[in-house]
Structure formats: structure tokens, C-alpha cells
Amino acid sequence: MNRKRIIFLLACVFSLTVCLPEAARTECRAVPFAKARNVGIEKGGSWTRLRVRNPIPGASEENVYILVSRDVPLPPDIPSGRVIRVPVRTYCNMSTTLIPFLEAMDGLRGLRGQGGRAYVFTKALDAAVVADLGPGNAPDPERILSLAPEIVFAYASTPDELETIRRLESLGLSVMSVTEFAEEHPLGRAEWIRVFGLLFGRTGEAEELYRSIRTSYESLASRAAALSARPGVLVNDSFNGVWYVPGGMSWPAILIRDAGGDYLLDTTDRTWSAPVDFETIAAIAAKADFWLNPGVWKTLDDGVLQDPRYRSFRPFREGNVYNNNARTTPAGGSDFHESGALRPDLILADLIAILHPNLLPAHRLYYYRKLEWKSGAR
């Protein structure tokens, strides 16, 4: 037997072994994901193992959940992990970015409490009897306990937020940490709809929805990839005196490149944001064609009020500044950061229409709008 065949057989044995539960030797199969990297699914005979990678330094590498139908007794071969009975019937939600996933799979029928409800964009909550749990990263534990949800969907991107989750767990609440926000690719975030399909017993619908979104996205990206011109793009603005720049392999950067733009701010493989000094930004702005996502601006006047030096930025002078706040609430809710998590294809269509208007001449901007002078004076 040659060496390559021996290595292959050993790899097969290992992959089977790590998938075997402790209580018995039931085989299971991994469910492949196309773009999502922070989640894994393994199907056993009567259970499904869900692995969620933890992005917080100092936390356990992953959280493991075992999904079991509520119609059957707990199987004897169940592996270790936190058991979740499916389909989920009642839940609380801490993250506004999860609302489109919950709405698509459950219609928000089982939602009992929402963190940061004042910042929710979707109108589906307007007539619903849903408690406000306070800030999403610091909810009211007693209020959640009084609602008795089967599960709490939470998130944690900092050690303090992780402590919040641990406190909820210490009170006997079943908490599932969802890390779609940490996915690198826009389609990776959207692919979490498959996880919620499992949780709510709507796997078929979830798979079909994701295929539709992915097909739409990849078709648009393919059209933009054929273009030779790639306009330079500047993003964000100064926040408390610091300009944070998304890494070159983050989902905002990927969206810009897939839209046929040249992401000028970062050419590294970083996936996280990093601070950049104003002098560096000014040098980039001198050669940028477009400026996207300048904070909370609603007009160009807002930019001048924030920093008069922005007048010298080329996209500002030429009137090529676009913000993703076309769909917002008076309280600050943003549909870009809400439904956009599930619909990156709609974001991509907007970006292509901005950077290459001749490619999508009939497209009407959905999340984005062009910023104008409020006063008419420049």
C-alpha cells in the first residue's frame, strides 16, 4: 500500500472518530457550508450537532449545541453539548442583525423579547407584543426570566459581552451564541439562514432562500468582474477623532471589490477594522472616486460641520458621496445593518449602480442614497 493511500485512510478514520459521540458509536456526516466559516453542522441518526466558533479572545474555541426533535425522547447516543429542542417555539433575541433570519424562518411569531427594540427597523414588530429587553449587549436578565423563552439568541464580540452571556446562563437560561457578524464574506453571513432553518424546522425553505440569494449575488459579481475600469473607493469617516478602516478581507471590502471597485484603504488580508491617521486618509481621498458610508451624515453640510477639511477630498468636491442610510428610523434603526445581513445581493446591486451606473441602468438604490447639499450652497 503506497504512502498516499495510507495517509488518506488515516484521515478518513480520524474524520469519523471526531464525529462519534461519547455515549455510542453512531456515525454522523458533516453538512458542507459554501461561505460561512464560523459554524459547522453534523447530522447524527436522531440529533444534529451545531458548532459555533467563538471569536472572543480568551473564550472557549467553540460552543456546541445538540438539536433534537421535541417529538422524541432524548436519544441514548446523544453527544455532549447544550441540548436545544426543535423546532424552537419561543425565544428572545439580543441582536437586530438576526431579525431578518428570524422573520424569514418564523415570521417573528415566537419572539417574546427583543434587545435594543427602539433600534429595530422592520415594521413587523410594530403590532407585535414583544418586550423591550434593554440594550442588546446588556439586557435585563430578570425581564428575560419573566418571559420564560425556550432559547435566547445572543452575541458577544467583547469580553464584557461574553460575561453577559455567562450571567444569563447562570440564571438557568438556554443561550445560543450567534456569530454571523464575524463572518468574512457577505454570503457567509447570509448562509446562517441555514442554521435558523434547522432551528425552526424549515430546512427546505432556508436552503432555497440561500440558493436564491447566492445566485443573485454571484450573477451580479460576475457582471462587475468583466469591467476593466475600477473606481477608487474611500469608506467611513472619523469617529471620536479616529478613522477605523475595515480590513482588506472583511465583508465591506469584499462587497466593494465584487461591485467592481478598487478598495484603496487596505490591501492586507485583515478581516478586522484598524485605526488610520488623518494624513493617510487625506492622501487616499485625493485619488478616490467615491466615498461610501460616512457615518450618520444625511447631507454634505453634515460633513463640513464635522470637519471642514473634508471639502478638499476629491469625492466630496465632485459630489460622489453615498451613504447607506436610505432606510432608517428616527431612533437610529438601520435596515442596511438589519436586512442587509441576509441580503448582500441587494447591497451589491446598490454598489454596482453607484460605481458603474451603466451596468444597472434600471436599478433604484435600496439601502444607499446620494448626499446633496441641504442649503444649496457649496
Rounded to whole angstroms, the Cα distance separating 367 from 25 reads 50
Tell me what the mean pLDDT of segment 39-58 comes to: 89
Say yes or no to pLDDT of 185 above 60: yes
Q: Which tops the pLDDT comparison, 377 or 347?
A: 347
Kindly report the number of other CB atoms within 10 A of residue 56's CB atom.
Answer: 17
What's the whole-number average pLDDT of the chain?
91
Kindly report the number of other CB atoms within 10 A of residue 45's CB atom.
Answer: 10
pLDDT recorded at residue 21: 43
Tell me what the mean pLDDT of segment 220-227 comes to: 98
The answer to whether the 17-202 and 209-370 domains have the same CATH topology is: yes
pLDDT band at 334 (very low <50, low <70, confident <90, very high): very high
DSSP track, 49-87: EEEEE--STTS-SEEEEEEEETTSPPPTT--SSEEEEES
Return the percentage of the chain with pLDDT > 90, whole number.
80
Identify the weakest region by mean pLDDT among 4-8, 102-106, 241-245, 344-348.
4-8
pLDDT digits (tens, 9 = 90+) for 286-303: 999 999 999 999 999 999
Do you know the residue count of the chain? 378
How far is C-alpha 246 from the chain's CA centre?
Answer: 14
Cell of 221: 459579481
pLDDT band at 58 (very low <50, low <70, confident <90, very high): low
Q: Is the pTM of this model over 0.75?
A: yes
In the block, cell 433575541 appears at: 93
CATH class of the domain comprising 17-202: alpha beta
Please give the CATH number for the structural domain made up of 209-370.
3.40.50.1980
Q: Is the four-CA dihedral 97, 103, 104, 109 of positive or negative sign?
A: positive
pLDDT recorded at residue 335: 98
Tell me what the mean pLDDT of segment 48-65 comes to: 84
* Domain layout of the chain by residue ranges: 17-202, 209-370
Kindly report the number of other CB atoms within 10 A of residue 16's CB atom.
Answer: 13
Rounded to whole angstroms, the Cα distance separating 191 from 209 reads 9
Say yes or no to pLDDT of 25 above 60: no
Kindly report the number of other CB atoms within 10 A of residue 329's CB atom.
Answer: 14
In the block, cell 414588530 appears at: 125
Say yes or no to pLDDT of 279 above 70: yes
pLDDT band at 327 (very low <50, low <70, confident <90, very high): very high
Q: Does residue 315 contact residue 355 with C-beta atoms inside 8 Å?
A: no
Which helix (H) or strand (E) element contains residue 369?
strand 369-370
